[in-house]
A and B are shown apart, each in its own frame.
Chain A
Amino acid sequence: MDIIREVEKELMPVRRDINFEVGDTVKVHYKIVEGTRERIQIYEGIVIAIDNKGISKTFTVRKISFDVGVERIFPIYSPKVASVDVIRKGKARRAKLYFLRKRRGKSAKLREKRIKKVIDLNAGASKSDTSANADAKE
Chain B
Amino acid sequence: MSKSLIGKKIGMSQYISDDGTVVPVTICELGPCVVIQKKTVQKDGYSALKFGYQEHKKEKNIPLPQLTDFKKKNISPKRHLSEVAFFDDSLDVGSEVKCSIFQENETVTVTGISKGRGFAGVVKMYGFAGGKATHGSHHHRAPGSIGANTFPAEVWKGKKMPGRFGSKKVTVKNLKIVKILQDKNIVLISGAVPGRKNSIITVTVK
A-side residues, CB < 8 A to B, are 1, 3-4, 6-8, 10-13, 31, 54-56, 75, 77-80
Binary per-residue interface labels of chain B (160-192) against chain A in the complex, 1 for a CB within 8 Å, 0 otherwise = 000000000000000000010100101010000
Q: Which residue of A lies closest to B184 (CB)?
A: A7
A95 to B180, CA, bound (A): 37
Query: Nearest Cβ in chain A — how far from B198, in angstroms?
Result: 10
Q: Are the C-beta atoms of B20 and A11 separated by less than 8 Å?
A: no
Query: Nearest Cβ in chain A — how far from B171, in angstroms?
Result: 24
B-side residues, CB < 8 A to A, are 10-11, 13-20, 22, 27, 29, 179, 181, 184, 186, 188
Known: A1-B11, A56-B14. A7 touches B20 (CB 8 A): no
Q: Are the C-beta atoms of B179 and A11 separated by less than 8 Å?
A: yes
| Interchain residue pairs A-B with the least CB separation, the first 8 | A80-B20, A56-B14, A78-B20, A4-B11, A79-B20, A13-B16, A3-B10, A4-B13
A6 to B22, CA, bound (A): 18
Chain A residues near B179 (CB-CB < 8 A): 11
Q: Are the C-beta atoms of B29 and A31 separated by less than 8 Å?
A: no
Question: Most chain-A CB neighbours within 10 Å: which of B13, B16, B188?
Answer: B16
Query: Nearest Cβ in chain A — how far from B26, in angstroms?
Result: 10
A111 to B14, CA, bound (A): 36
Query: Nearest Cβ in chain A — how far from B75, in angstroms?
Result: 26
Known: A7-B184, A10-B181, A11-B179. A77 touches B16 (CB 8 A): yes
Contact of A55 among B14, B17, B186 (CB under 8 A): B14
Q: Are the C-beta atoms of A7 and B16 separated by less than 8 Å?
A: no
Chain A residues near B20 (CB-CB < 8 A): 31, 78-80
Chain B residues near A78 (CB-CB < 8 A): 16, 20, 22
